[in-house]
């Protein structure tokens, strides 16, 4: 009979790292600097009924570390504009932009997707801005021949 996997769970209050409002990982020494570690952390993000956590497995041990985040745990890090607009999240997941789910809050752009709040980082916002017009105090997203107002919250 195989051994049952053991699980270590660390609460977000006990986690020694966190995600800032710009999607950067930090610990007590400041922002993470090593790209491989940063990418590994982003790719390890999961969510359950208790919130967002990082997960990794070693042999028969699974570690689950819930983490704090300042604004959002999911970020758009890349935008591919073709016929449709594809968003690549910090987790590596690719999703289609839904213009009806975009909104602006505190001068930041977000999208709701499947109950998740996703924030556009500065680089992705700059790339998407080529498709955004300003008409008075209203922002409009252009997708092909269609125009979608972006609501403000």
* Residue 125 to residue 77: CA distance in whole angstroms: 9
CB 41 within 8 A of CB 54: yes
Place of tokens 């699980």: 7
| Topology, domain 6-69 | duf1285 like fold (3.10.540)
pLDDT digits (tens, 9 = 90+) for 84-132: 899 999 999 999 999 999 999 999 999 999 889 999 999 999 999 999 9
Structure tokens at 10: 């660390």
pTM of the model: 0.90
pLDDT digits (tens, 9 = 90+) for 46-57: 999 999 999 998
Closest-CA residue to 87 (of 56, 144, 95): 95
- Percent of the chain exceeding pLDDT 70 equals 97
The pairing of strands 102-105 and 132-135 is unpaired
Q: What is the mean pLDDT of residues 126-141?
A: 94
CB 74 within 8 A of CB 120: no
SS3 per residue for the chain: CCCCCEEEEECCCCCCCEECCCCCEEECCEECCCHHHHHHHHHCEEEECCEEEEEEEECCEEEEEECEECCCCEEEEEEEECCCEEEEECCCCEEECCHHHEEEECCEEEEEECCEEEEECHHHHHHHHHHEEEECCEEEEEECCEEEEEEEC
Q: What is the mean pLDDT of residues 72-82?
A: 96
Domain map of the chain by residue range? 6-69, 74-152
pLDDT of residue 4: 66
């Amino acid at each position: 009979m195989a051994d049952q996997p053991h699980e270590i769970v660390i609460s977000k209050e006990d986690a020694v790292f966190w995600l800032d409002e710009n999607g950067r990982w930090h610990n007590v020494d400041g922002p993470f600097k090593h790209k491989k570690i940063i990418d590994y952390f982003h790719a390890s993000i999961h969510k359950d009924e208790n919130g967002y956590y990082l997960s990794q497995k070693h042999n028969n041990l699974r570690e689950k570390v819930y983490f704090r985040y300042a604004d959002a745990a999911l970020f758009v890090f890349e935008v591919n504009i073709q016929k449709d607009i594809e968003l690549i999240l910090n987790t590596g997941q690719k999703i289609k932009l839904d213009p009806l789910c975009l909104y602006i809050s505190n001068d930041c752009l977000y999208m709701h997707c499947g109950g998740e709040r996703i924030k556009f980082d500065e680089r992705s916002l700059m790339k998407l801005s080529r498709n955004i017009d300003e008409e008075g105090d209203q922002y409009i997203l252009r997708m092909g021949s269609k125009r979608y107002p972006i609501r403000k919250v």
